Amino acid sequence: MKFIESFPIKTDYTVVRSRSPLRISFCGGGTDVPPYPEQFGGCVLSCTIDKYAYVSIRPYVNRQIHVISEDQGLDVHFAPNGGENLEGRLDIAQAIFRRFSTSGLEFHITADAPPGSGLGSSSSMIVALIEALSRENGITLSKYQKAELAFQIERNDLGIVGGMQDQYAAAFGGFNFIEFEKNGVYVTPLRCSTELLSELHYHLLLVYTGNTRLSSNILAEQTANVLHQREKVMDSLAGMKELTHSLKRAFLKGRLLDFGQFLDEAWTLKRNLASAISNAHIEELYDTAKSAGAIGGKILGAGGGGHLLLFAPFNRRAKVRQAMEAAGARIVDFQFEDQGATSWLTTEETWAPAIPTSPPQLSGTERTLVQARS
So which residues are the catalytic ones?
166
Whether residue 353 is preceded by a cis peptide bond, meaning omega within 30 degrees of 0, is yes
Instruction: Determine which helix (DSSP H) or strand (DSSP E) holds 106, and give its type and residue range.
Output: strand 105-111
Phi and psi at residue 264, to the nearest 5°: -65, -45
Phi and psi at residue 273, to the nearest 5°: -75, -35
Whether residue 115 is preceded by a cis peptide bond, meaning omega within 30 degrees of 0, is no
User: What is the rounded CA–CA span in Å between residue 278 and residue 297?
Assistant: 13
Cβ contact 46:10 at 8 Å? no
Q: Are strands 65-69 and 74-78 parallel, antiparallel or unpaired?
A: antiparallel
User: What is the rounded CA–CA span in Å between residue 267 and residue 278?
Assistant: 10
DSSP letters for 116-158: TSSS-HHHHHHHHHHHHHHHHTT----HHHHHHHHHIIIIIIS
**31: helix, coil or strand?**
coil
Kindly state the DSSP code that residue 316 receives in the 8-state scheme: T
How far does CA 13 lie from the centroid of its chain? 30
Q: Which residues does 363 contact at the CB level (< 8 Å), separation at least 6?
A: none
Q: Which of 208, 152, 155, 164 is nearest to 325 (CA)?
A: 208
